[in-house]
Chains A and B, each alone.
Chain A
Amino acid sequence: MADPKMRILVVDDFSTMRRIVRNLLKELGFANVDEAEDGAIALQKLQAGGFEFVVTDWNMPNMDGLQLLQAVRAAPALSHLPVLMITAEAKKENIIAAAQAGASGYIVKPFTAATLSEKLQKIFDKMGG
């Protein structure tokens, strides 16, 4: 299992959703969580360093989740970061676009705690292996 002290950035423009994801992560043992309300703020925080995992929404103002993902993958210092997308966008082309852009996982809203746990575990397994 991954390091429970791992610093995670939760990116969503709705504070309620950020809070829910933060609570779920806490339940799963990850208490070191920071939040950003759009891609642009998230990228700033990521560039400042210290984060090991990103959980992001897609549809957000200023910079959306896909743009954030692309920016992360394009930045040498950040490109290794796992990025898990949790989004209401459910078109197949969305999922394909996210996968092609290098998303580590894709969860469609509404989602369950079990789904989040499973996807996180899958990403950690890949990182470890």
Chain B
Amino acid sequence: MSDANPLGDSAELEALFDSIAVSAAKPAPPPPAAEKKSSLMSQTRESEDLTEDSQDLQALFDSIAGKDKTPRPAGGPGEAAGAEWPGQKKIFTQIGQMARQLRDTLATSGYDKLIEKTVSAIPDARDRLAYVANLTEQAACKVLNATDVANPLQDELETGAALLAAKWDALYANAMGVDDFKLLAGETRAFLKNAVPQRTAATKEQLLEIMMAQDFQDLTGQVIKKIVAFAQGLETQLMSLLIETIPVEKRTESVESLLNGPVINADGRSDVVVSQQQVDDLLDSLGF
């Protein structure tokens, strides 16, 4: 990053930053506030030209800062506010610094174009995911409907067979007359010729329906693969951007939450369970 920054935007950002840093230090003169900045800041700080824009911004900031101070009990402008919130100046300085670093890195490394492209791909990915959600829901409904149809058919076969079996048992136990036997033979014939084939055919139809409901896999698989590729690209870009811009000490722990959804990859993780057995063991070990 050279002293002569060719980017107009950066100059504006710098002016904005300066105006914020200066205002935060008010009513002290501007230089001390600026002096506290990091070496990187002072490197790029050479072009001190305050554009019209930044003067407007300065005025805007002053007016906001002024408003902000009035309702506070301590009352006095500038000094009082500074006393109330000692970290204020530091925070403004850091935010300004981060904003400028980010902007410079984006522009010099061509990330701005990449990110623009990525951001425009997000609505597309969202639509694709909505499509996946829609198809999988439809499939789930089809399968559940099919089982709702097929289950009673199986029940009918079961009860019909049990009824006939009981009668045949009676015959074998010599507890049935000739007329009853003729009746049983007729019933059995009807069951085998009609009742069974009708229900097996109807059940097969539902099995076919269940099979066909899986056709979403082909479509969603394609869509999901595209989104995975897109997410990978986005991740790579954002990661390298972050690595370049965020100092190590600024990295924070990931947020601890109880709402994480399913564990996608449990490899090497000791904080999750992967089976019902582990859930039971954990609860047992705790005495629940």
B259 with A88: CB separation less than 8 A: no
Interface-located stretch among B50-58, B206-214, B215-223, B271-279: B271-279
Q: When the two chains form the complex, which single residue of A64, A90, A99 contacts B286, counting CB atoms closer than 8 Å?
A: A99
Q: When the two chains form the complex, which single residue of A16, A89, A96, A115 contacts B141, counting CB atoms closer than 8 Å?
A: A16
Q: Answer yes or no: A77 CB below 8 A from chain B CBs.
A: no
B273 with A95: CB separation less than 8 A: yes
A99 with B276: CB separation less than 8 A: no
Interface string of B145-167 (1 = CB under 8 A from A): 00100000000000000000000
Which residues of chain B have C-beta atoms less than 8 A from A80's C-beta? none
CA distance A101 to B86 in the complex (A): 42
Number of contacting residues on B, CB 8 A?
24
B282 with A64: CB separation less than 8 A: no
Interface-located stretch among B1-9, B96-104, B260-268: B260-268
Q: Answer yes or no: A47 CB below 8 A from chain B CBs.
A: no
CA distance A122 to B104 in the complex (A): 62
Some 18 contacts from A to B, beta carbons below 8 A apart, are: A16-B140, A58-B258, A59-B259, A64-B259, A89-B259, A90-B262, A90-B266, A90-B273, A90-B274, A90-B279, A91-B260, A92-B271, A92-B273, A93-B258, A95-B282, A106-B279, A106-B283, A108-B276
Which residues of chain B have C-beta atoms less than 8 A from A109's C-beta? 262
Interface string of A91-105 (1 = CB under 8 A from B): 111111101000000
Closest 7 CB pairs of A and B: A88-B262, A16-B140, A99-B288, A90-B263, A90-B272, A90-B273, A91-B272
Q: When the two chains form the complex, which single residue of A19, A20, A91, A115 contacts B258, counting CB atoms closer than 8 Å?
A: A91
CA distance A95 to B282 in the complex (A): 8
A35 → chain B, closest Cβ, in Å? 14
Known pairs A91-B258, A93-B271, A109-B262 / 19 extra A-B pairs, C-beta < 8 Å: A16-B144, A58-B258, A66-B258, A88-B263, A89-B258, A90-B272, A90-B273, A91-B260, A91-B272, A91-B273, A94-B258, A94-B260, A95-B273, A95-B282, A95-B283, A99-B288, A106-B283, A107-B276, A115-B276
CA distance A32 to B95 in the complex (A): 59
CA distance A111 to B277 in the complex (A): 11
Interface string of A64-83 (1 = CB under 8 A from B): 10100000000000000000
Q: Answer yes or no: B137 CB below 8 A from chain A CBs.
A: yes
Which residues of chain A have C-beta atoms less than 8 A from B288's C-beta? 99
Which residues of chain A have C-beta atoms less than 8 A from B275's C-beta? 108
Across the two chains, which residue of chain A brings its CB closest to B275? A108
By size class, the interface of chain A is 20 to 34
Interface string of A9-41 (1 = CB under 8 A from B): 000000010011001000000000000000000
B260 with A89: CB separation less than 8 A: yes
Across the two chains, which residue of chain B brings its CB closest to A107? B276
Binding site for A on B (CB under 8 A): 137, 140-141, 144, 147, 256, 258-263, 266, 271-276, 279, 282-283, 286, 288
CA distance A106 to B280 in the complex (A): 8
A121 → chain B, closest Cβ, in Å? 13
B270 → chain A, closest Cβ, in Å? 8
A66 → chain B, closest Cβ, in Å? 7
B3 → chain A, closest Cβ, in Å? 51
B278 → chain A, closest Cβ, in Å? 8
Which residues of chain B have C-beta atoms less than 8 A from A58's C-beta? 258-259
B282 with A92: CB separation less than 8 A: yes
Q: When the two chains form the complex, which single residue of A16, A99, A111 contacts B283, counting CB atoms closer than 8 Å?
A: A99
CA distance A99 to B261 in the complex (A): 18
B137 with A16: CB separation less than 8 A: yes
B271 with A91: CB separation less than 8 A: yes
Q: When the two chains form the complex, which single residue of B144, B256, B266, B286 contacts A20, counting CB atoms closer than 8 Å?
A: B144
